[in-house]
């Protein structure tokens, strides 16, 4: 595929995100305007819960989905509070919930709590709306923990597994994504992957697309099974689609 074709494909799989601490209504309006770009549109916007209503109103009539985050970014352990937050977000109009797995509980071996939280949120997030489980792989320093977290998320009903919040020193890595993809493939279930954070160039994008195609098969990576949490790459994708100079060359994993 040409760089323009890769960029077009990636743009349609993008979760265009603003989770900055100083986000404003005006920033959400700008985000939603980008999301509706005719060269896309992107798959979803991902915003703080307090901006879900704003995004819903701004995107009215567009095919762009609205995602929001819960238990974010710390990965707390209060199941009841998290489910209450999910209910409120869904009531405000969210189509997708990005839940941070309680990764410290996993690190100390409390898999029961991990499963309980994901299952409780899954029960609230009904059909037609998606549950993405964020593993925070940069904090799971043992590949076996990433594999375990992936299996727990899949078994508890996740629609997607997301690598990271983007709020820790290490976000998405090809190594973590590969572990997740192998877990998805072994499960035989229709679960997607969302690499998130530290994806800044077209070469980075192609790394993850190539990885998904190699493990899951050609054509697997579509907005229904593959998302990119990579807003910083948006301008480069647009430049590549338009054939403008200055884009980084696409790489290979």
Q: How many CA atoms lie within 13 A of 170 on its CB side?
A: 12
Annotated active-site residue 162? The verdict is yes
In terms of Cβ atoms closer than 10 Å to its own Cβ (0-12, 13-18, 19+), residue 217 is exposed
- The rounded distance, in Å, linking the Cα atoms of 89 and 96 is 9
Contacts of 155 (CB under 8 A, 6+ apart): 115, 187
Select which of 3, 132, 159, 194 is catalytic.
194
Annotated active-site residue 92? The verdict is no
Annotated active-site residue 98? The verdict is yes
Compute how many other C-beta atoms are within 10 angstroms of the C-beta atom of residue 109: 10
Concatenating the DSSP letter of every residue in 163-206 gives ---S-SSS---HHHHHHHHHHHHHHTS--EEE-BSS--SHHHHH
Select which of 98, 159, 198, 204 is catalytic.
98
- The rounded distance, in Å, linking the Cα atoms of 59 and 111 is 38
Select which of 18, 132, 159, 162 is catalytic.
162
Residues marked active site are found at: 98, 162, 194
């Amino acid at each position: 595929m040409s760089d323009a074709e890769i960029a077009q494909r990636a743009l349609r799989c993008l979760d265009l995100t603003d989770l900055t601490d100083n986000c404003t209504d005006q920033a959400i309006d700008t985000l939603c305007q980008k999301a509706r770009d005719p060269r896309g549109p992107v798959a979803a916007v991902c915003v703080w819960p307090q901006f879900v209503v704003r995004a819903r109103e701004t995107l009215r009539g567009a095919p762009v989905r609205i995602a929001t985050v819960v238990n974010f970014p710390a990965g707390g352990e209060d199941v009841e509070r998290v489910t209450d937050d999910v209910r409120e977000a869904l009531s405000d109009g969210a189509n997708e919930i990005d839940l941070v797995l309680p990764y410290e509980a996993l690190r100390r071996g409390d898999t029961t709590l991990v499963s309980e939280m994901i299952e409780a949120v899954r029960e609230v997030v009904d059909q037609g709306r998606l549950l993405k489980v964020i593993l925070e792989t940069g904090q799971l320093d043992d590949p076996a923990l990433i594999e375990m977290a992936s299996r727990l998320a899949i078994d508890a009903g996740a629609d997607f597994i997301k690598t990271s919040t983007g709020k820790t020193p290490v976000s998405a890595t090809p190594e973590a994504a590969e572990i997740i993809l192998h877990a998805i493939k072994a499960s035989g279930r229709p679960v997607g992957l969302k690499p998130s954070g530290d994806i800044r160039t077209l070469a980075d994008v192609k790394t993850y697309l190539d990885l998904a195609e190699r493990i899951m098969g050609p054509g697997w990576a579509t907005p229904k099974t593959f998302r990119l949490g990579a807003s910083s790459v948006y301008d480069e994708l647009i430049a590549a689609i338009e054939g403008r100079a200055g884009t980084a060359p696409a790489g290979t994993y």
